[in-house]
Amino acid sequence: MPNFANIGARFKGDPLSERHSRQRLVVGNWKMNGSLAENASLLNGITAHWQGAEGVETALCPPYVYLSQAAEALSGGPIKLGAQTVSEYSNGAYTGEVSGAMLADLGCRYVIVGHNERRRMQGETSDRVAEKFHAAQQAGLTPILCVGESEQERDAGMALETIGHQLLVVVKRVGLEAFARAVVAYEPVWAVGTGKTASPEQAEEVHRFIRAELGELGARTQILYGGSVKPGNAEQLFALPDIDGALLGGASLNADDFVAICRAAA
């Protein structure tokens, strides 16, 4: 496989042998969904049925305005809090923006950066995504960096090249070592919210590629798959050696589905 990004030394070991050292992680991205009443019922449903999912690391990423509500409901429990994006700036005259320090203040541990919906609809370039990744780490948050190809890029045989470039821009900004405190999520754009999931072979190929691109750190970095993960396909995906968990959209809005996927990962 060509090393498109030429990012770091090739990972020489066997990812399987390192498997035990990578904790499974399942993150729910609520996107722009919910209300105070709906969230209360979702959060209750999740926490009330958590048995069997104890071994997994988990986080929920509600919209900003509901972070306090979720922080209170999840306080003291196993489920961590995350946000869906973060400003690349630390403070000042940036109307409508929210800084990493503010998210940390509210108890967030994670923040998603570079989700394809923000790259496509909010004009987030890879350079901006790299700044956001940096700002998140400066605030002590763990960035979940989303990468993924469009359908056209896959059809043109450019999937790995696209992903390699998305990674490279961030690595150039923050350095490879920064990935010791980060999570990567592979979300093929064509599989997000469409009901189409990447085949196990497609997903595993990309995950293995990302791990290899991260050099020695690749063996340690958690790499999640996202894109129409459901209780019915989660187990098959989690069985793959280079998939360490999932970034969920739709399935995180249903307590039974979310808990079932967390149990499959536990």
Ligand X SMILES: O=C(CO)COP(=O)(O)O
228 is in an annotated binding site: yes
Query: Across the strands, what pairs with 27?
Result: 59, 247
Angle value at C-alpha 192, between 191 and 193, nearest 5 degrees: 115
Distance of CA 205 to CAs 146, 211, 241, 246, 255, Å? Answer: 16, 10, 11, 16, 31
30 is in an annotated binding site: yes
CB of 167 to ligand X, least distance (A): 17
Q: Does 42 bind ligand X (CB under 6 A)?
A: no
Spatial distance between the Cα atoms of 128 and 135, rounded to a whole number of angstroms: 10
Q: Which residue out of 149, 187, 204, 213 is catalytically annotated?
A: 187
Indicate the helix (H) or strand (E) that contains 112: strand 108-113
Are the C-beta atoms of residues 130 and 169 closer than 8 Å to each other?
yes
Among residues 139 and 146, whose Cβ is nearest to ligand X? 146
Q: Does 228 bind ligand X (CB under 6 A)?
A: yes
Which residues in the 171-210 window bind ligand X by CB under 6 A? 187, 192-193
Instruction: Choose one: 12-20, 88-96, 172-180, 222-230; the region binding ligand X (CB under 6 A).
Output: 222-230
One of 53, 59, 229, 237 touching ligand X (CB under 6 A):
229
**Is 187 part of the annotated catalytic residue set?**
yes
Q: Does 251 bind ligand X (CB under 6 A)?
A: yes
CA 96 to the chain's CA centroid:
23
50 is in an annotated binding site: no
**Is 115 part of the annotated catalytic residue set?**
yes
The amino acid at 209: F
12 is in an annotated binding site: no
Instruction: Choose one: 13-21, 134-142, 160-168, 220-228; the region binding ligand X (CB under 6 A).
Output: 220-228
193 is in an annotated binding site: yes
Which residues in the 22-41 window bind ligand X by CB under 6 A? 29
Neighbours of 94 (CB within 10 A): 12
Instruction: Choose one: 90-98, 209-217, 242-250, 257-265; the region binding ligand X (CB under 6 A).
Output: 242-250
Q: Does 114 bind ligand X (CB under 6 A)?
A: no
The amino acid at 58: T
CA-based nearest residue to 118, from 31, 197, 237: 31
250 is in an annotated binding site: yes
DSSP string, 199-261: -HHHHHHHHHHHHHHTGGGGGTSEEEEESS--HHHHHHHHTSTT--EEEESGGGGSHHHHHHH
CB of 101 to ligand X, least distance (A): 24
Binding-site annotation, residues? 29-31, 193, 228, 249-250
Contact footprint for ligand X (CB under 6 A): 29, 115, 187, 192-193, 226-229, 247-251
List active site positions.
115, 187
Binding-site annotation, residues for substrate? 29-31, 193, 228, 249-250
